[in-house]
Amino acid sequence: MLSVEVARFRARVLSALRAFFDERGYLEVDTPVLAAELIPEAHIEVFATELIDPQEPEAGAERYLVPSPEVWMKRLLARGYGNIYCLGKVFRNSESRSRMHRPEFTMLEWYTVEADAYSQEALAGELLACLCDRLCGPVPGAEGCRAVGAPVERLTVAESFARYARIEGFRFGEPGGLRRAAAQLGLRVGPQETDEDLFQRILLTHVEPRLPTDRPVILADYPSLVPTLARVRGATCERWELYLAGMEIANCYTEERDPARLTEFLTHESERKRDARVPHPPAESLLEFAAAPECSGVALGVDRLVMALLSLRDIAGVIHFP
């Protein structure tokens, strides 16, 4: 349960996040939580509800709770809004309530124009240092605060496989490479297992639990075999994830703007989406995004950020109604 002290601290984190982006000229956009169409993402189950029109009570129209404000924010970027951020609730269905997760959580998402994932690393580091400056005081768990403000350790995902899973000379894109790595680590490999599954299992079993917890860690250059809207550079893509206290906190892309690639992603994920419990129409208008300036977006889980700052191990300790 959330104590009053933690509730106050949480509110200060929200203020500090807003202040950071306001001071840098980012526009806060409070985008809708209900959407008629979403970016199809094969692994995300959504919440569906129905819009009731009193004039046409029979013609119920499906609406979905957004799993991220991305679908709205990308349209605003295409309209020329420039740098924007959104701080609000997002919803992911069919994900277990666990120590680190709730189906509803608070997300900060920001986009910087004329930027790529690499330049956003610096901004993320600045944000963490700034939070540490503003929030570190005589609060319980101050060592968490210091760890958040420590210099960021940056390595590529391939380097993390070598350092933490001890797979020397690992490179993405080599045929059979992940299968060999999994075998070397003694993982049970099923015949139907895809490279994407193997990649996630190695990362989740042998890398993530061993990441340093006394400083922020950025894992960069994710393999492009995990389909995303990040710009692809051969076997890897311009994507990073930020870890605090061993928890996945934020995800960043250089946003893909090539219309052919966007179409390919929509088609591929829509097909995989057929197995979803709740299918939903893809955001066709995402293709408008090809008209946006070069930009990069970061999505950051705020509840986990508060956990890291306070060195708390359970998300129930940082939300008002766990």
Partner 1 sequence: MIKAGQISKGHCLMWKDEPYLVADREFVNPGKGAAFVRVKLKNIRTGRVLQETIRTNDSVEEADVFDRDAQYLYADDAHYYFMDAETYDQFAVPREGLEDRVYYMKEGDTYRITMWETNPIDVIVPLKTVLEVTEAEEAIRGDTVTGATKPVKTETGLEVKVPLFIKRGDRILVNTESGEYVERVNE
Binding residue for partner 1 (CB under 8 A) from 168, 188, 274, 277? 188
Nearer to partner 1 (CB atom), residue 208 or residue 215: 208
Binding residue for partner 1 (CB under 8 A) from 18, 24, 101, 134? 101
Secondary element (H or E) of residue 242: strand 239-244
- Burial tier of 31 (Cβ tally within 10 Å: 0-12, 13-18, 19+): middle
DSSP structure string for 12-55: HHHHHHHHHHHHTTPEE----SEESSB---TT-B-EEEEE--TT
Binding residue for partner 1 (CB under 8 A) from 196, 213, 288, 293? 196
Which residue stretch of 56-64, 108-116, 161-169, 186-194 sits at the interface with partner 1 (rule: CB under 8 A)?
186-194
SS3 86: strand
**Shortest distance, position 105 Cβ to partner 1, whole Å:** 11
Under rule CB under 8 A, how many of the chain's residues touch partner 1?
A: 35
- The yes or no reply on residue 288 touching partner 1 (CB under 8 A) is no
| Contacts of partner 1 in 256-275 (CB under 8 A) | none
Nearer to partner 1 (CB atom), residue 76 or residue 300: 300
Cβ-contact 314, 247 below 8 angstroms: no
- Which two tokens mark 8? 């106050």
Nearest to residue 260, comparing CAs of 283, 239, 237, 231? 231
Rounded distance between C-alpha atoms, residue 287 and residue 77, angstroms: 12
Which residue stretch of 16-24, 74-82, 111-119, 188-196 sits at the interface with partner 1 (rule: CB under 8 A)?
188-196
Q: Tell me phi and psi for residue 275, to 5 degrees.
A: -85, 0
- The yes or no reply on residue 10 touching partner 1 (CB under 8 A) is no
Q: How far apart are the first and last CA of the chain?
A: 7
- Which two tokens mark 312? 């708390």
**Shortest distance, position 193 Cβ to partner 1, whole Å:** 9
SS3 202: helix
**Shortest distance, position 52 Cβ to partner 1, whole Å:** 32
- The yes or no reply on residue 190 touching partner 1 (CB under 8 A) is yes
- Which two tokens mark 130? 């700034």
Q: How far, in Å, are 2, 66, 230, 286 from residue 257 at the CA level?
A: 42, 22, 9, 10
Q: Tell me phi and psi for residue 170, to 5 degrees.
A: -70, 135
Which residue stretch of 26-34, 98-106, 128-136, 212-220 sits at the interface with partner 1 (rule: CB under 8 A)?
98-106
DSSP 8-state symbol, 230: B
Query: What mask, x for binding partner 1 by CB under 8 A, covers residues 116 to 155?
Result: ----------------------------------------
Query: What mask, x for binding partner 1 by CB under 8 A, covers residues 14 to 53?
Result: ---------------------------x-x----------
Task: Return residues touching partner 1 (CB under 8 A).
Answer: 1, 3-5, 41, 43, 92, 94-96, 98-101, 186-188, 190, 196-197, 200-201, 203-206, 208-209, 226, 228, 241, 248, 251, 299, 314
